[in-house]
Amino acid sequence: MISRRSFLSVAATAPMVGAQIPRPNLVLFLADDHGYWDSSVYGCRAVHTPNLQRLADEGLTFSNAFSGAAICIPSRAILASGLCSHRNGAIANGRQMREGIKTLPAYMTELGYRVAHFGKSHFLPATNYTKWESVPSEFRREGGLNHDLDPEALEKWLVGRDASDQRPLCLIVCCHSPHVIWEQNKDYDPAKVELPPTFVDTRETRTARANYYTDITKMDTQLGQVYASVRRHLGRNTLFLCTSDNGAQWPFGKWNLYDAGIRLPMVAVWPGVLRGGGRTEAMVHFTDFLPSFIELAGGKAPKDIDGKSFALLLRGRSSRHRTEIFASHTADNNSQMNCYPMRAVRTARYKYIRNLYPELSYQTHIDRALGRDGRDAWDSWVRKAHSDPTAAAIVRRYHKRPPEELYDVAADSHEMKNLAADRAHAAVLTSLRRKVDEWMKGMNDNGEIFGVPRPLKDFKMPV
């Protein structure tokens, strides 16, 4: 229950904006590698996400939120800077944002907010984030990348705040799940997991899928703990947003520009402002978080960023936002894996993907790294492909990409049928191709891989 004292301290002292409305506390919960379709909110009947469902019941669900990149460091740099990857410099995992770029915590601090970060970082370089309090709230479990958010650290921080500090809060809470290494399956029946049509159905795939579901449920549990702490200690005038940084680490997901890689689950709860159980088809992009938070804080967003505020959506005063979004993927830094430069534009109906180096073989951690990264499931796909033509086609599609891909995402949500060679869609292809040309030029993006450029003029259109 929200205490009367905590509600009054926020409501009575926060600066006023607009029609005498106090500025809200802003809380962003960021999951890691959580795929769009993988919760009850977006139609999955097999995975248990009661807390995310509760938020959807109490707030507004976004059907078309996109990250702009399908990999961790670039996606977080986009969110924090309001700039697309080639403008902020973080074009790959291992490539940090350029030093000196102003980020979300600096803007919010200038507007009078107290800004704190909890959990996983990957917001780099650290010198661009000196304006937030980085609260120790992450601990390493046994084994590699397997970190955990400690929700209790947020609870203790909220309890221990100085009562005389009347600043509104901006909290960035980052969970590590369901990033690999996934939790071992506890409650899921592998026979009942849901597999998208892009998958090969094998025993190993179902076993891994059950582990992934277990880690999603772990994320959902931490979401519930964080949400409960926020409700206990902050007033009703608190916007709570939850989303993910990019899609899940499965074939055709992370490190791709298909919707499984860049389309995100996202829910916003704001008591008294947003009605519960709402849903919006409006398209939003990770660059839009920065200007939205600035506007909600009573400031004006800089004009030279790529983001566009969706504060009207968050206030329930609009149902529209963007008509198209752009996205890019390049590589992990100097890695022989995950190196496959591609660019994309998506509208409400169509997705166009340009694969800048189609002569390369597409390879990622999934097919080249350790079992924990999905190798066991992938190897079972390859084995099945020896005798199953459908499995063989999926494996070929994974490794070999055409120069251009065009999908009617309204009719083909998993992007299975490439329409780039379909004469009936020639006008759409031409239009979206031109949009990517213009966007790349505006981003000063020449398609390079770490200093080895392929200028736009060298891109050979298919005959």
Strand pairing class (169-174; 114-119): parallel
Looking at the structure, tell me whether residues 268 and 295 fall in a common domain.
Answer: yes
CATH number at residue 341: 3.30.1120.10
Looking at the structure, tell me whether residues 186 and 215 fall in a common domain.
Answer: yes
Count the domains in the chain: 2
Looking at the structure, tell me whether residues 305 and 361 fall in a common domain.
Answer: no
Tokens of 376: 């066991």
- Is residue 223 in a domain? yes
Looking at the structure, tell me whether residues 286 and 353 fall in a common domain.
Answer: no
| Three-class SS of the chain | CCCHHHHHHHHHHCCEECCCEECCEEEEEEECCCCCCCCHHHCCCCCCCHHHHHHHHHCEEEEEEECCCCCHHHHHHHHHHCCCHHHHCCCEECCCCCCCCCCHHHHHHHCCCEEEEEECCCCCCHHHHCCCEEECCEEECCCCCCEEECHHHHHHHHHCCCCCCCCCEEEEEECCCCCCCCCCCCCCCHHHCCCCCCCCCCHHHHHHHHHHHHHHHHHHHHHHHHHHHHHHHCCCCEEEEEEECCCCCCCCCCCCCCHHHHEEEEEEECCCCCCCCEEEEEEEEHHHHHHHHHHHCCCCCCCCCCCCCCHHHHCCCCCCCECEEEEEECEECCCCCCCCCEEEEEECCEEEEEECCCCCCCCCHHHHCCHHHCHHHHHHHHHHHCCCHHHHHHHHHHHCCCCEEEEECCCCCCCCCCCCCCHHHHHHHHHHHHHHHHHHHHCCCCCCECCECCCHHHCCCCC
How much of the chain exceeds pLDDT 90, in percent?
A: 83
Looking at the structure, tell me whether residues 194 and 286 fall in a common domain.
Answer: yes
- Is residue 433 in a domain? yes
Looking at the structure, tell me whether residues 288 and 395 fall in a common domain.
Answer: no
Looking at the structure, tell me whether residues 301 and 439 fall in a common domain.
Answer: no
pLDDT digits (tens, 9 = 90+) for 10-49: 333 334 444 446 899 999 999 999 999 999 999 999 999 9
- Is residue 3 in a domain? no
Looking at the structure, tell me whether residues 344 and 292 fall in a common domain.
Answer: no
Looking at the structure, tell me whether residues 339 and 204 fall in a common domain.
Answer: no
Tokens of 350: 């169509």
**Taking all residues of the chain, what is their mean pLDDT, rounded to a whole number?**
91
pTM above 0.75, yes or no: yes
Q: Which of 25-39, 90-104, 203-217, 379-393 has the lowest mean pLDDT?
A: 90-104
Provide the β-strand partners of residue 407. Answer: 351
- Is residue 5 in a domain? no
Domain end call among 263, 287, 321: 321
pLDDT digits (tens, 9 = 90+) for 228-245: 999 999 999 999 999 999
CATH number at residue 230: 3.40.720.10
What pLDDT score does 450 carry? 64
Domain end call among 321, 354, 387: 321
pLDDT digits (tens, 9 = 90+) for 408-453: 999 999 999 999 999 999 999 999 999 999 999 999 999 877 665 5
Among 54, 33, 53, 108, which residue's Cα sits nearest to residue 298?
108
- Is residue 47 in a domain? yes
**What domain range includes position 362?**
329-458
- Is residue 184 in a domain? yes
More confident of the two residues 146 and 219: 219
Q: Starting at the edge strand that comes first in sequence, how are the strands of the sheet with 25-31 ordered? A: 133-135, 114-119, 169-174, 25-31, 238-244, 263-269, 60-66, 278-285
Task: Answer positive or negative: Cα dihedral of 362, 201, 351, 460.
Answer: positive
- Is residue 39 in a domain? yes
Looking at the structure, tell me whether residues 339 and 315 fall in a common domain.
Answer: no
- Is residue 2 in a domain? no
Looking at the structure, tell me whether residues 125 and 220 fall in a common domain.
Answer: yes
Looking at the structure, tell me whether residues 105 and 242 fall in a common domain.
Answer: yes
What pLDDT score does 116 carry? 98
Place of tokens 């770490």: 450
Domain end call among 304, 321, 338: 321
Place of tokens 């509208």: 347
What pLDDT score does 18 carry? 40
